Chains A and B, each alone.
Chain A
């Protein structure tokens, strides 16, 4: 009996964990001001936050996201939060972003930032940022690491995380 219950429970867990990656419109937070996004950069619990700026139209961004997913899994026990900030157009959320998240089985949190006054906030992410994507920002408390460009392995991301965590 216990065994049967256990296997039912197991099946239930497996089923729910595969379902957990079904992305719907409500799963992506649409944020229309950088101020509101910025408040989420530093985690209140003092944890490490890996934030990647990307878009479905950006080929190198889409190419590197699997490495972020890999890094997310590899660092799971360290309780590192991963957030992907999409700069897609809002009208493409349903037609492009959601299908991409489902196809790629994305596990991280995804935010759509629609604040179009780029010149007012790009420097606030980092003054060295040219405005090209992808970029990666890692925060922990007052510490911050900024990287402009693509990564080509999960290890590169883990190395970036180590930089903030010294």
Chain B
């Protein structure tokens, strides 16, 4: 009897595992867990530190990917527009600097200074946060609401190569939807990016 129970248990946990293992990060509707990551000012930063936030523009980005670099100015604009409305940008560098030396913590500090990033730029040094989110590339945005529920996943807009040719500003539109209590549409998009270097 014991044996049967045990094998049932093994079977059950096997089934459970097979369902939980392919956790490929967050989907729209999931609640994101907070993190504590080192910001370029040397201090640890969490979403909980933002007392008046209505949400967060969490973006996995880096210094070394040309497609991430093409979006730097647009991230600055997004932050300058939406941080005062309670939606700050938090940029997270997920790359392993041993593979991409430009993405070292010092490299992040340097790039932030050069560009005058007005937003937090934190380092996922242990590479634990990006798999939790399911980020696969840079840049890769997760828009969270006040309760840290993921409301939008994907690209910043529909024209990475040319900011003047943007037809759909996905992230800005998604925030505008949240502001009036609507669900973003589209709730997810795709774009080309650099694979995250683990």
Contacts and interface: CB of A to CB of B under 8 A. Distances in A.
On whether the two chains bind one another, the answer is yes
Nearest to A150: B195
Interface string A124-163: 0000011111100000000000000100000000000000
Contacts of B161: 89, 116
Contacts of A117: 158-159
A131 B65 CA distance: 14
Given A57-B66, A60-B195, A119-B155, A131 B160 contact: no
Contacts of B158: 116-119
B162 interface: yes
A146 to B, nearest CB: 14
Interface residues of A, number: 19
Contact of B192 (A59, A123, A131): A131
Contacts of B162: 116
Nearest to A91: B161
B48 to A, nearest CB: 29
A74 interface: no
A89 B161 CA distance: 8
B194 A123 contact: no
Given A116-B159, A119-B189, A123-B190, A132 B165 contact: no
Nearest to B165: A116
Given A130-B136, A131-B136, A132-B136, A118 B66 contact: no
Given A57-B65, A89-B161, A116-B160, A132 B194 contact: yes
B137 A131 contact: yes
Contacts of A132: 136-137, 192-196
Contacts of B160: 116, 118
A87 interface: yes
A58 B190 CA distance: 18
B55 interface: no
Contacts of B65: 57
A130 B155 CA distance: 11
A130 B190 contact: yes
A138 B182 CA distance: 41
A65 B145 CA distance: 42
A8 interface: no
Interface in B43-79: 65-66
Contacts of B159: 116-117
Contacts of A73: none
Contacts of A89: 66, 161
Contacts of B194: 57-58, 132-133
Given A118-B192, A119-B155, A123-B190, 14 more contacts: A58-B194, A58-B195, A59-B99, A60-B195, A118-B155, A118-B158, A118-B191, A119-B190, A122-B191, A131-B136, A131-B190, A132-B194, A132-B195, A133-B195
Closest 7 CB pairs of A and B: A132-B137, A132-B195, A130-B136, A122-B190, A119-B189, A118-B191, A131-B190
7 contacts: A58-B194, A87-B192, A117-B158, A122-B190, A131-B136, A131-B192, A132-B194
